[in-house]
Structure 1
Amino acid sequence: MRYSNLAVLLVLLMAAASCSTEKNYRLVWNDEFDYTGLPDSTKWAYDQEGNPHGWGNDEAQFYTKGRKENAWVEDGLLHITALEESYGDKAFTSARLISKADWQYGKVEVRAKLPEARGSWAAIWMMPGGWSFNDGNWPAIGEIDIMEHVGHDKGVVHASAHSKDYQWQTGTQQTGTIKVDDATDAFHLYGLEWTPDTMKAFVDGELYFTYANEKLGVDKWPYNKPFYLIMNVAVGGAWGRVEGIDSLAFPQTMEVDYVRIYQK
């Protein structure tokens, strides 16, 4: 979506004013994607460390860097696109963008439209500041999933928190789901509110996941430190390929209208 600079400013001022009165939140970081070209290099980096290892999850894509075919901003939208093409030793390419800033607690809002192909696995999520794939120690270090969507379960959106004691490999992750029938056809606002005591996930303001800090230590709540934001479209993987990959349906794109971070 393309807006004039004045319109963008008015939207931000209204959003900031609204959040300053709602639990005293204020806008501290954002990308409105009101430009054309590669994602803003002052705000985003490309994560590639896990490519040789399938990201520990046997994923089918190679995440590229600075390649417009996989990550491009135009008409007010960020496009993260997974393509079927041979690249490196993979059969698909895509992009995995990570924010160059991190935050401890606050509110995250990402307005996005999701891909739909069987085999696609779109995600908006967070990992601890300074951590990278080669550091390991997952899931003990913590992971916050604001939105996950797999193409074979179209319209079902997930939010989760993973830790040493609560994680998907043992089926113990703290998680919630919501049905968003037109998630792949329309934009929706995916949100997280994170405080020292609770983690809550929303779609269009509707609460569907709450995880309260049990005060039982870092094995259950490793979320008392800064986390950075990740946006990506994976292909396959342990979850994404459950019903196979419909390669004829690619390319597949997650479109992002804006990213906004608020803190008290």
Structure 2
Amino acid sequence: MSARRTRFRAALAGLTALLTGLTAAALLSPTAQGAAPPDPSGWTRLFLDDFNGAAGSGVNTADWRYTTGTSYPGGPANFGTGEIETMTNSTSNVSLDGSGNLRITPRRDASGHWTSGRIETNRGDFRPPAGGTLRVESRIQLPNVTGAAARGYWPAFWMLGTPYRGNWWNWPGIGELDILENVQGLNNTWATMHCGTTPGGPCNETSGIGGQRPCSPTTCQAAFHTYRMEWDRSTSVEEIRFLLDGVVFHTVRANQVDATTWTNATNHGYFIILNVAMGGGFVDAFGGGPDGATVPGHSMVVDYVGVWQTGGGGSTEPPPTTPPPTGGGWDAYGTIQAESYDSQSGLATEATTDTGGGQDVGWIANGDWALYRGVDFGTNPARQFSARVASGAPGGVSGLVEVRLDNRSSAPIGSFAVGNTGGWQSWRTVPANIAAVTGKHDVYLTFTSGQPADYLNLNWFTFGH
């Protein structure tokens, strides 16, 4: 495991050096279909998928997860939007085309039932560094269908606050950033920030704080266009900008809402979603559908999805929070996925074979840590902690998992020791007692070992009474 960590970090350092010299001008130029965009000068790449692969194959599940069915487990029906399709992981709905593109394609069967596709990044830590900017971008051709044949189509490229994962009922407070939405085959792109409470509230829900712009000179349906979000913490007032083909057409600033609303929506990481829904509330606002005139089989075609950051500096750890934060949105008694950290040091993610799939956090060694902001313990004290762990560490190598509140240097409120479990994907749930905790806190998991070797993989954790 130590050798794996060394190779990973060496490769990452080499990649960073290689990317530094590439220019922004190349990114802003039209990208050849199937080619990854070069990195803009001064920006550091966090994520890129250019969807190269064999025609008819699925997406890379090390980077993406399929969302299937008609809702999240235990979440609002029809994904809370009223859409009518069933999402699948079938390559008839989600597949690579062999030319460097992803295609998400709605289908209708003989009985009139619609299926489509929805994928999400496994990573949920996309947020700008303090004093810096996050850039999330995709080059997309919307389903090439218009008029009556497009009734009900609702393609989108968007992001959700990661505290939504495992809760499913805290929208819109945890934030949503719609970089691209389109309905009914109209030559228009909508960009929106959702936040606050619903209905109404400081963010005018369920409409949100939105803007729009048509595609030109070619329509959104007839050609590829580039859709981008820039979340900027370098300005005097934090702002989120939305761009079409490099032109800003909508900006949301922190001073447009109260401080608590903004903090609740932004004080955590986000994950990225690509999907084509059929029907739903946004569609209903423009005439409804789908109906008998709707023609299935038109794909949203995605050339790439990329994430970069610039600015900021020093440690990725935010300053300590005193008093405990009022923002966030993690439910202490839900399952908190380890890879959904807000900040970390020394960690990396990998695909897991544990029940439920997704990713785990690996290569954990002495001195590493992860931060989860705004974990809500409520008024009934939590007294237990448990975590899903695996270890292939050699004999004599073990370490501690420690829980600390609000500051990484705080005394641990609880800990447990872990050694070899039979392999790096041999999972077990380990419980521990903790000092009684109520209220909302930043939670640090710190990892301590008497040896320098990697000793732990972590999939998820939770608290109990």
Relative to the length of structure 2, the TM-score reads 0.50
Q: Deviations over 1:6-41 (max 9, x none)?
A: xxx9xx9599543553xx322121001111210111
Give 4+ residue runs of structure 1 displaced > 6 Å after superposition. Answer: none
- Alignment correspondent of 2:95: 72
Match of 1:132 among 161, 165, 172: 165
Match of 1:176 among 182, 206, 211: 211
Which piece of structure 1 moves more, 98-107 or 48-57?
48-57
Q: Give the aligned length.
A: 246
Work out which structure has the larger RCO, using CA pairs closer than 8 Å and 6 or more positions apart in sequence: 1
Distance 2:122 2:106 in 1: 22
- Alignment correspondent of 1:58: 82
1:96 maps to 2:123: no
Q: Deviations over 1:177-214 (max 9, x none)?
A: 00115100100000010123110011110110111111
Cα distance change of structure 1 residues 161 and 249 upon mapping to structure 2, 3 Å threshold: same
1:30 maps to 2:48: yes
After superposition, residues 234-253 of structure 1 pair within 5 angstroms as 234-241=277-284, 242-243=286-287, 244-247=289-292, 248-253=294-299
Task: Report the CA distance between 1:216 and its aligned residue.
Answer: 2.7
Cα distance change of structure 1 residues 79 and 198 upon mapping to structure 2, 3 Å threshold: same
Please state which structure has a larger fraction of its residues in strand: 1
Match of 1:46 among 43, 55, 66: 66
Relative to the length of structure 1, the TM-score reads 0.85
Q: Deviations over 1:65-98 (max 9, x none)?
A: 2x100000022110001111279xx820001100
Consecutive unaligned residues in structure 2, runs of 5 or more: 1-14, 25-38, 129-133, 197-201, 311-465
1:109 maps to 2:137: yes
- Alignment correspondent of 1:218: 260
Distance 1:20 1:82 in 2: 34
Cα distance change of structure 1 residues 107 and 51 upon mapping to structure 2, 3 Å threshold: same
Which piece of structure 1 moves more, 131-140 or 36-45?
131-140
Which piece of structure 1 moves more, 131-140 or 199-208?
131-140
- Alignment correspondent of 2:304: 258
SS at match of 1:41: coil
Distance 2:103 2:209 in 1: 30
Distance 1:86 1:61 in 2: 14
Distance 1:201 1:125 in 2: 11
Cα distance change of structure 1 residues 151 and 252 upon mapping to structure 2, 3 Å threshold: same
Distance 2:127 2:300 in 1: 26
Distance 2:290 2:21 in 1: 39
**Contact 2:151/2:184 (CA < 8 Å) preserved in 1?**
yes
Root mean square deviation, CA, Å: 2.4
Distance 2:166 2:180 in 1: 20
Counterpart AA for 1:58: G
Counterpart AA for 1:38: G
